[in-house]
Structure 1
Amino acid sequence: MSVGAAVLPTAGTPEGIFLFVPHLADLVWGTICFLVIAVVLVKYALPRFNQVLDERTAKIEEGLALTEKVKEEQTGAEARAAQLVEDARLEAAKIRERAQTEAEKILADARAEAAGEANRAMEAAERQIQADKQAAQISLRSDVGLLATDLAEKLVGEHLTDTELSGRVIDRFLDELENTPVSPAWSSRAGTVR
C-alpha cells in the first residue's frame, strides 16, 4: 500500500462532521444504558448518599452547637475568673489594710511601752542619783566635819570634847563653804561642791 492510499478515505468511512455523529444503534443503546444506570443511582445510591450527607450535616451542626456552647461557657468562666481575681484583689487589699493597722497599733504600743520603760528607768536613775548625792553629801559633811574638828583642835591646841559645840561649828563651816563662790581655777581642777 502506498502513502497516498493511507490518506485517502475508504468507501464506508464517514468524513467531515459526520465523523462526530454516532450511529443510530449506538445512540439507542447508549441512552438505554444511561437510563438504567441513572435509575439504579437514583433508586439505590442517591438515598444512601443523601443519608450520609444528612448525617454529616447533623454532626457538623452538633459540633457547631457544641462549639457555641463551649464559647458561652468559656465566656462565663472568664467572667467568673475575672470576678474571682477582683474579689481576691479586694480581699488582699483588706488584709493588707488590716495588717498595716495592726502593725501601726503594735508599733504604737511598743513605743508607749518603751516610753514608759524609759520614764521608769529615768525615775529610777534620778532616785539613785539623789540617793548617791545625799550619801555623798553626808559622807562629805562627815569627812569635812572631821577635818574641821582636827583643824580646830590643832589651831586651838586643845581637844574639843563638847560634841554639840563641835557639831554647830562644823555645820556653820559647811554652810559657809556651800555659800562661798567657787573660783574658776578650783572648779576646773576639783569640780563644783554642793
Structure 2
Amino acid sequence: MTDPVVLREDDPRTTDLLAHGWRVVARSWGAHAVVDGALVERLRALLSASTAAIDELGRQHDDAIAALDEITRGDYPQSAATPHPAIHRAAIASLRVRGVRITGATEGDRVVAMTAMRRLGDAAETEFTAVAPDRRRRGLAVAVKAAAMLAAIDDGAVRLGTGGSALNEASIRMNERCGYALDERWVTLER
C-alpha cells in the first residue's frame, strides 16, 4: 500500500489518480471567514446568547483540557487530512509554545467545551474543538468558537480558517453559524 495522498477535490491530479486505480477513503473541508463588522457583530451575538462561563484556559486547566480530550478523542473522524493526536499535558505545553490559545467553557474545575486557535501572521486557524458528550446540543461549541474568533480578531487577525472531516456534519453547521464559509473540499486517496 502506498502512502495516502490528500488533494483538493478540484485538483486535476485527483481525476488522474482515480482513473489509475486510486480510491477516495476520506473527505474533508476547509472554511474561511473574512473579518468585517458584520462578522464581529454575529460573533458577539452568539457569545452573548450563551450563559456558560467562557474564557481563555490557562495552565491551571491543563488536567481538565486533557480529560476532555480523552473522553472526546474517539469522536474525531480521523484521516491523513484530519489527524487528532492525543492532547495530554506535554502536548498542551507544545501547543502553547507554538502560540495556540485554548478557549473553553468551564463548570467548576471541569472543562466542558474548548476550541484551540493558532495565529499565522494576520490569520488564525482552528486546531480543534471539543464538547463533553453530556453537554452537547446546548450551543457550547458555537460559544467557545465565537469567543476564540473574537480573541483572534482582537489580536489582529483579519482572516480566520477552520476545517475538518466531511463526516462531522455538526462541526460544519457550527462553523457556518460562526460565519465561516466552506470554500475548499479535499479528498484523501489511497491505492
With the length of structure 2 as denominator, give the TM-score of the two structures.
0.17
Larger helix fraction of residues: 1
Compare CA radii of gyration and give the structure with the larger one: 1
Which one has the bigger strand percentage? 2
